[in-house]
Amino acid sequence: MNILICDPISEKGISLLQQKPEFDVTVQEKRLSEDELLPVVKDVDAMIVRSETKVTKKVMENAPNLKVVGRAGVGVDNVDVETATQRGVVVMNTPSGNTISTAELTFSMMLALARNIPQAHMSMKNGEWNRKAFKGVEVYEKTLGIMGLGRIGSEVARRANAFGMRVVAYDPFLSLARAKALQVELMEPEEIYPIADFITVHLPMTDETRGMINAATFAKMKKGVRILNCARGGIINEQDLCEAIESGQVGGAALDVYETEPAPEDLRLRKLPQVVMTPHLGASTEEAQENVGIEVAEAITEYLLNQTVRNAVNVPNLDAKTYEMVKPYLRLAETLGKLVSQLAPKRVEKLVITYGGRATEAPTDPISRSVLKGFLEAAEGEEEVNQVNVRSLANSLGLLVEEIKSNEETDFNEWLHVSAVVSGKTYSAAGTSFGARHEPRIVRLNQRPVEIVPEGVLLLMTNKDRPGIVGHLGSMLAKHNVNIASMSLSREQQGGQALTVLNLDSVPSAAALEEAKGDPDIGNLQIVKL
């Protein structure tokens, strides 16, 4: 079997592949463009890439023997995953290779920040001896606020506990039992800001987390707090951070990631002596690079020789016939998971996935994994979640997952129902597929019958069932230049409360939402993005 290594990986990873007599391994010395790849891939069974090489639809169409693509890293933006899935090509990544290296960098940065090590080092290099200028603080018995307790945040927490720190954390998806096992106190951000001596960010980049650490949050923090970010550039507003440091509200910062990378030469942060900076070194250790190379080599080997799947990001272990059977459900399942994750509070205790009608005859595991993928993306970030790791991620959050096959009679030949249980309260959505193209539809929302096209921006609300309410809603949104694509209305009784769901062409402005919230006939306003 022919294996093509398109981008540099560790020598140990290459050696592992070369030791297998079944493999013929080719290592490209330079990055190839799409056109240059076409003649090279015609006989390959596997490709290994980092971020440089693009595995496009055209490349895969010219690789009839291609069975698997291994990405030595987390993101798979350079691989056309949809085309790979359609062609039965497994796409794997290496999500755990840089966990320890990033956690250790974070802790190293915190110690350097606490003791002014980089500044003292430069002073010594300049021939100075200025002990008084670099008096620092101990981390012992200080409070560390961790924003996000995923793989890396959890490792930082373990190291902080060993150093005798008090660890408090914000992670809206982590169960209380899991937090207790990590010896961490779960809190809301508003509770962390006034008490934390150090705050470190380990959250995925989402619409919700982008710019979440800003001027308003700095103002709520303990004066002299020290800030760390080795996760994603853009979670911290750099302009606001500069101003908070210059005013003395923030005592210093240690950054490995930036809003723009490479960081521009005139970046204002470079001029602040209180800021420790590194050029995105989270995964830049010999061990991390070696681990990633070994991990992708082992995953490729296991799949090609034993059909064992590790860290796949698409539907990996289904034959063509089975895939065709479950394919109509996968998009619906992921959409339902994504919808319910936005309907329910974040700290969900149990997720119940119910199969009805012909759906009970389909293999449930890949469908349930698709539900979990949609549901967990808000918690972990799209890059971190895939079809294979969703069950372990759910387990790490303390989320129970239950699957049920129902004989309930409905108006639909096949349907899926997803419920999130929080403190005895249930938030749910059900869906089915219509037509030869299996277009998904939401047909039940919190037990209310609806018919919703699950795409784009949805505006959910309850409203008084009265004449003219539809026109009133349309006029209100039109005033704010928001167009309605479609509408679903569901009422319990005439003149009572109705559930209205609008498909919108754009997200309403804050002013539009405030006006709607102020209307006495409208309540429970919620925006959902699918």
CA atoms within 13 A on the CB side of 139: 23
Angle between helices 99-115 and 117-125 (to 10 degrees): 70
SS (H, E, C) 11-55: HHHHHHHHCCCCCEEEECCCCCCHHHHHHHCCCCCEEEECCCCCE
Closest to 251 (Cα-Cα) out of 234, 226, 230 = 226
Token pair of 418 as six digits: 């997803």
Q: Residue 500 pairs with which residues in a beta bridge?
A: 461, 489
Query: Could you tell me whether strands 484-491 and 497-504 are parallel, antiparallel, or unpaired per DSSP bridges?
Result: antiparallel
* CA pair distance 183, 169, nearest whole angstrom: 10
Q: Residue 138 pairs with which residues in a beta bridge?
A: none
132 phi, psi to nearest 5 deg:
-65, -25
Closest to 367 (Cα-Cα) out of 409, 410, 401, 341 = 401
Residue labelled with tokens 């895969």 = 60
**Which residue among 166, 280, 438, 448 is the active-site one?**
280
CB count in 10 Å sphere of residue 196: 25
Note if 232 is an active site residue. Answer: yes
Note if 480 is an active site residue. Answer: no
Token pair of 359 as six digits: 């759906």
* CA pair distance 344, 421, nearest whole angstrom: 8
Token pair of 455 as six digits: 């795409």
**Which residue among 82, 128, 208, 261 is the active-site one?**
261
* CA pair distance 240, 507, nearest whole angstrom: 26
Note if 261 is an active site residue. Answer: yes
- The SS3 of residue 201 is strand
**Which residue among 71, 151, 178, 232 is the active-site one?**
232
Length of the chain: 530
CB count in 10 Å sphere of residue 12: 13
* CA pair distance 200, 104, nearest whole angstrom: 13
Angle between helices 286-306 and 11-18 (to 10 degrees): 20
Catalytic residues: 232, 261, 280
